Amino acid sequence: MTLEVENLSKLYWTPNATFPGGGIQPISFNLAPGTFFTLLGPSGCGKTTTLRCVAGLEIPDEGRLTLGPTVFFDAARRTNVPLNKRNIGMVFQSYAIWPHMSVFENVAFPLRVRRELKLRAEEVREMVARALATVGLEGYADRSATQLSGGQQQRVALARAIVRQPGLLLLDEPLSNLDALLRDEMRNELKRLQRQIGITTIYVTHDQAEALEMSDVIAVINAGVVEQMGSPREIYDRPRSAFVAGFMGATNLLPATARSAQKGDSSGTVAIDSGEALSTWFPYDIGAGSRIALSIRPEAVTVAPAGTAAPQGWNRLTGTVIGSGFLGNIVRYTVALPHGRIHAHQPPDRIFAEGETVELHFAPDRTLGLSDNRAAA
């Protein structure tokens, strides 16, 4: 179903505080049926608050929330459909399955608590069987929940969330309790299931790789404010700010000041704080005099022996290798510049020694001039 969230906000006030102590500033988004939408940001940025507002676990201060034809919440009209009437499936990190119940009883629970559904035993059996089949757990119904692996328990939680065929699925860091290998596997599995069921989903995570791999749309949240919303590609390739660039994977951020205003989608030249001028691409407008950070991904930097000519039009800096780490498919170098340092990922075919003077070459269109909001973050 389509989910429409309009200017939803929830701010927490600590006693005697003159400013909010957390929560989420007005957030709006529209999700087409079947969209996998991720709220991504550091701990405490307001992801869970947003999810709890959508679920009905929290009453927002303002805004409107509609799923399909049903208005769940409208502050202006004082509409607030209670949690159990929203038909939303949820898997929360802490919302574990019940160990004293069988797999069947765990999955049947949401059907049993809603007596008004007046389901016959046979219907319950059928619905549970369908949900278990969807998550690949046919034949597990009679097992005790404690006899399952972590990944299987997670699937039971998912089966329980979808058994009532909800119009919306909310997932709050559902994989964070699993070990790294299983987590990777479940990531794919979860995405595949979500596609198969075609259910509109909101996923909360602080893990950027998870967000990039699974989402159709990502909202990056910083201190209660949505900094950017877009496809994984947009967010990675065209981050709106230094915060987003830094949060979406490793990047080098070189501080600089914009001497003149820059139009978005244009190129220009910027002097970094150490004085060198670098050709830069500005994805968005930048005001004259504003602090900017040049974001250069480590994989965009070529390390070359001193004296090597850079490709035509490319940026060039000279530095000294102060660290290197062999990671199998790449070598990660740290190169000291007169002011600051740069990380570069290189194929392991040529090794530079620590102390060696090298050149760093990188293309202007991979040198992004972004507003530097890190101090505020």
Ligand X SMILES: Nc1ncnc2c1ncn2[C@@H]1O[C@H](COP(=O)(O)OP(=O)(O)OP(=O)(O)O)[C@@H](O)[C@H]1O
Question: Which stretches of the chain bind ligand X, using CB under 6 A?
Answer: 12, 21-23, 41, 43-49, 206
Closest distance to ligand X from the beta carbon of 50 (Å): 7
Which residue number, 135 or 175, has a Cβ lying nearer to ligand X? 175
Q: What is the DSSP code string of 162-210?
A: HTT--SEEEEESTTTTS-HHHHHHHHHHHHHHHHHHT-EEEEEES-HHH
Strand boundaries in 47-135, DSSP class E: 62-67, 70-74, 79-80, 88-92
Find the Cα–Cα–Cα–Cα dihedral 294, 297, 299, 302, rounded to 10°: 10
Which residue number, 49 or 194, has a Cβ lying nearer to ligand X? 49
Which residue number, 25 or 28, has a Cβ lying nearer to ligand X? 25
Q: What is the DSSP code string of 21-32?
A: -EEEEEEEEEE-
Closest distance to ligand X from the beta carbon of 49 (Å): 3
DSSP state at residue 64: E
Closest distance to ligand X from the beta carbon of 293 (Å): 23
Closest distance to ligand X from the beta carbon of 347 (Å): 36
Closest distance to ligand X from the beta carbon of 218 (Å): 14
Which residue number, 163 or 219, has a Cβ lying nearer to ligand X? 219
Which residue number, 15 or 69, has a Cβ lying nearer to ligand X? 15
The pair of structure tokens assigned to 161 is 């969330």
Q: Looking at this protein, which amino acid is placed at residue 170? A: L
Query: C-alpha angle with apex 40: 35 to 41, nearest 5 degrees?
Result: 165
Closest distance to ligand X from the beta carbon of 211 (Å): 13
Measured over the CA atoms of residue 151, residue 153, residue 156 and residue 160, the dihedral's sign is negative
Closest distance to ligand X from the beta carbon of 6 (Å): 19
Residue nearest to ligand X (CB): 22
Which residue number, 93 or 102, has a Cβ lying nearer to ligand X? 93
Task: Yes or no: say if 177 and 92 are a contact pair by the CB < 8 Å rule.
Answer: no
**Rounded CA gap, 366 and 303, in Å?**
15
Which residue number, 22 or 151, has a Cβ lying nearer to ligand X? 22
Closest distance to ligand X from the beta carbon of 45 (Å): 4
Q: Give exposure, 8-24, as e/b (b: 16+ Cβ within 10 Å).
A: bbbbeeeeeeeebeebb
Distances (CA, A) of 4 to 34, 211, 297: 13, 21, 35
Which residue number, 73 or 333, has a Cβ lying nearer to ligand X? 73
Query: C-alpha angle with apex 52: 124 to 187, nearest 5 degrees?
Result: 70
